[in-house]
Chains A and B, each alone.
Chain A
Amino acid sequence: EAQVTQNPRYLITVTGKKLTVTCSQNMNHEYMSWYRQDPGLGLRQIYYSMNVEVTDKGDVPEGYKVSRKEKRNFPLILESPSPNQTSLYFCASGRTGGSYEQYFGPGTRLTVT
């Protein structure tokens, strides 16, 4: 089944404790991206990647890191999480060229206390 998977789905952590949210896709997509969703703000892009070893900032990259060492994986790293990073996070992937539509993972609910 073609899909984007994220883990964990739910995470409660404390301020300053490094964490990684994994994202993997099995559709051989070049484009991958991370978003955060907050009430009243819609989805905001954190980082995106056009292909392996190519990443670029979205609109809200502060406090996040990403890497794209393999085409299928695009982990999101929070080196020192803070309460303002409490949010719902989505990973997405899509083809470059063509329509650029994105396929989304199920979301990760992160709470930082």
Chain B
Amino acid sequence: AQTVTQSQPEMSVQEAETVTLSCTYDTSENNYYLFWYKQPPSRQMILVIRQEAYKQQNATENRFSVNFQKAAKSFSLKISDSQLGDTAMYFCAFMTTSGTYKYIFGTGTRLKVLA
């Protein structure tokens, strides 16, 4: 069975600093996608960044970047120049496209950006 593990339930970072959120996953599939979603206090789920497993290049979106290590099954999120608006719950997610199309989420990391 596929699993997604986020081992950091809570983290904090000073404004303007850099923080890295960890995510590991387990799968025997070769074709899959990885995502980071953000859930601010409003509860709205928002896509932060995505990575296709077949792409070796790490995805970046402005201040957000990932470190995708396929062999290690690791998918960490780096937030640079942290802003108060980055305070949120962050979920790592996995989806395979080999047979089933289930989405598997991790348990989340609550990030607090301190002024």
Q: How many A-B residue pairs have CB under 8 A?
A: 56
Q: What number of A residues sit within 8 Å (CB to CB) of B? A: 26
Asked if A33 and B106 sit within 8 Å, CB to CB, the answer is: no
Asked if A99 and B103 sit within 8 Å, CB to CB, the answer is: no
With known contacts A42-B91, A101-B47, A101-B50, A48–B103 Cβ distance under 8 A: yes
A68-113: which residues lie under 8 A (CB-CB) from chain B? 88, 90, 92, 96, 99-104, 106-107
* CA–CA, A90 and B34, complex, Å: 19
Asked if A100 and B102 sit within 8 Å, CB to CB, the answer is: no
From residue B43, how far is it (CB to closest CB) to chain A in Å? 5
Asked if B33 and A100 sit within 8 Å, CB to CB, the answer is: yes
The chain A residues found within 8 Å of chain B, CB to CB, are 31, 33, 35, 40-45, 48, 50, 56, 58-59, 88, 90, 92, 96, 99-104, 106-107
Asked if B106 and A59 sit within 8 Å, CB to CB, the answer is: no
When C-beta atoms are compared, the residue in chain A nearest to B96 turns out to be A100
With known contacts A100-B33, A101-B50, A45–B102 Cβ distance under 8 A: yes
A100: chain B residues at CB < 8 Å are 33, 95, 97, 101
